[in-house]
Amino acid sequence: GNLWERDFFAVQSVHVAIDGTHFLKIFYGKEGLVEIPSKFFKLSKRAVVFEWMVNIRRAIHENPELGFEEFETSKLIRTELDKLGIPYKYPIAVTSVVGFIGTGKPPFVAIRADMDASAIQVW
């Protein structure tokens, strides 16, 4: 398994849609979805995982891109999915990415997030 799956037992089936800056995997194990919050947060406190998440967030926020122009953000997400061995479809709606984890059989979990920057003026 990859960095995430090694720490979760009995991963049965998961489907995650990724379209944004917030990268998150959801796991379905013997105990069901009720396990997710504590296991995810426990894993996210590990220095290597925390640093990885912070670095991705910083990279995205240092390169804001408007809607349908998120080519570098999309590339970053695809690179991270490749590193984790997660298959994905691209392009969807110009720059979107949809990643898939699990068997493709129910139960399914989907997560969606925006990855475009808002055109606002900061004072």
Put simply, whether the predicted model's pTM sits higher than 0.75 gets the answer no
Name the residue with higher pLDDT: 103 or 55: 55
Number of folded domains that form the chain: 1
Which residues, in sequence order, are CB contacts of 51 under 8 Å at separation 6+? Answer: none
For residue 40, give Cα distances in angstroms to 26, 47, 54, 114. 8, 14, 15, 21
In this structure, is residue 123 part of a structural domain?
no
| pLDDT score recorded for residue 73 | 94
Domain that holds residue 77: 5-99
Q: Within a domain: residue 72?
A: yes
pLDDT, tens digit (0-9, with 9 covering 90-100), for 97-112: 998 887 777 777 777 8
Is 63 part of a structural domain of the chain?
A: yes
Residue 2 — φ and ψ, nearest 5°?
-90, -175
Is 112 domain-assigned?
no
